[in-house]
Structure 1
Amino acid sequence: MNPPPPIDPQGQKSNTGYSSHINQNTPYPLPTPPGSYPNSHLYDSNPAPPSSPPYGQLDPASNQILNPYATGPSTSYGYQSGAGIPPAPPVTAQRNKASKWLIFFIVSAILLLIISSFIVGNVVNNTIATNNANATATAQVITNHLATATAQAQATAAALANPYQPSGTLAWIDPLTQASKWQNGSDVSWGGRCQFVNNAYQIYQSPPKKFFRCEEPSTYSNFAFEVKMRIDQGDCGGLIVRHNDNGHYLLEVCQNGNYDFFNYPSHRDSITLTRGNAPAIHQGIDQLNVIAVVANGSSFDLYVNGQKIETVSDSTYSQGALGLVAVAYDNMTAVTYQNARLWTI
């Protein structure tokens, strides 16, 4: 702040800043009046007024002390506006800057929210798609398992069901892949043998005019007995029912389509109960035929490949064992058997 203006002894302000009443006893000489300076001829008698009022003069308009060094309008204290003091930043600019940052953060947050929503949406969609695919795959697996289980149940039911009449109860199934109800055996002097070959039961008879039998020794009375037969070479195969010490019955099926049903009271004598040629028989070597006999009292029903080819009545033997045979009439014969089944009536 500038110093206060000088005060004269009378308490009046002077236009020049000096006292208008000078003490006459002052030891100092009075200043030379204007125009009385030495060598005043060197100076203009009417000099131009100074461009700025001298320091300490009072500005009549603002009633403030003037600064002779100021180059512009005075402030309330005589300083030039802005001289030496940096101006404060405009409030509007600060607000604009803050607004820009606020807008930037808001836009960034919105974009982040959109991107996050998109990512989350994709993850959710992929998860749903994966879950749907897994559910579909699981359902398909369950369906396949159910279908497999159903097929197995149907196959089991079909295996258990007696396809022949009268109906009976399944007693056993022997796939004839290994020794169980039937065993390996041979008779060298007779020329025949029984053996398991390639997961099947094979009966072999070499000299002609003979047959060789292999037995399941349990005793059965009324039943349905079925087996799959394939003639590998030679003449005929077949099955024996109600075999005991007195004799047995023999169903003989040949690869030429002929069949016979015999009563054998001894090893050498036989009684033909029926014979014929059946179209149901698959003729030739290596042909598969399913043969069966239903023994119910004195009645015997003969089947080939599910078709009844004959019914015979005889009461000689009421019970006995079961057997499988290879019959060689003119040629060495080998017959293979699989999947034997028995239903009791």
Structure 2
Amino acid sequence: MRMALIVGINHYEHGGSLYGCVDDAHAVKAVLERHGDGSINFDCRMFTGTGPTDRVDRSLLKDRVNDLFTAQTDIALFYFAGHGHIEATGGYLLATDSRRGDEGLSLSDVLTMANNSPSRNKIIILDSCHSGIAGTPPAPGNLASLAEGLTILTASSAEQYATEENDRGVFTTLLVDALHGGASNLTGDITPGSIYAHVDQSLGAWEQRPIFKTNVRQFVSLRKVSPPIALDELRRLTELFPRQGYEFELDPSFEPESKGRDADMPAPVPENTRKFAVLQRYNRLNLVVPVDAPHMWHAAMQSKSCRLTALGEHYRRLVEKKRI
């Protein structure tokens, strides 16, 4: 069972309003509810603060976070988009009725609830200013304190603001893109780590810097999408490359096209052309490269070979260990 609590607050009674947080919450809910093939993923509950009659007060926010992290689930995910505050006593998530920064929900309280949660995996994703302090005690020099199975992903460091662009949070826009498949691996899995890498690589050195903290022992997939290559073809890595460092020998019989073929070259062999089609798909995914040839076509026509890249060898080992 997977549960997600999704909160987006635009309206603040005692502070400046935001514009993209509610839309961001809707976008996160939409992508988390289903896997790429339409099958059920997270059971989502969403709360939004859009105005005086649609609000997320501090008591409601704290109660719902507590409900999430006291449930016994495979994954408990908390997403928050709204104002954040930091001071000497730590960081806070501001609710609709917060009159001042320290009247928000304390991130120390959120961390305590998550650390004590019976859920196997706990994911906290924060798109708020100064959210990078989450998981770190306020005293200078203290290290983050995360229970096993807890991951925190934040839009910015403790010192930075989380920015909006085109009425959407910059961080959440990248987060949603990652969940839609931008951060998937070759098996179609999207993990917290791959999401962080996607967001981190998309932001420049002068922009807000995302923060990633984790203490996990097992692979955690937040969403599955269609893989870029069929898994049965990926599993053929060990058939075509039976050992590390192996080079697959090619010749013109692997190339199906007759164009550019000399008269003394062997004709295409259907079994070989089928293998070559798989090798070319590996090449497009940076799993395989030709040896001493600019392209796979040249490698075949010049009777060269191809070999696995470091990424290809990684997936070959996964197949060999029956992990794919």
- TM norm. shorter chain > 0.5: no
User: Please, what TM-score do these two structures have when normalized by structure 2?
Assistant: 0.24
RCO greater where, 1 or 2, for CA within 8 Å and sep 6 or more?
Answer: 1
Bigger strand share: 1
User: Please, what TM-score do these two structures have when normalized by structure 1?
Assistant: 0.23
Larger Cα Rg: Structure 1 or Structure 2? 1
Bigger helix share: 2
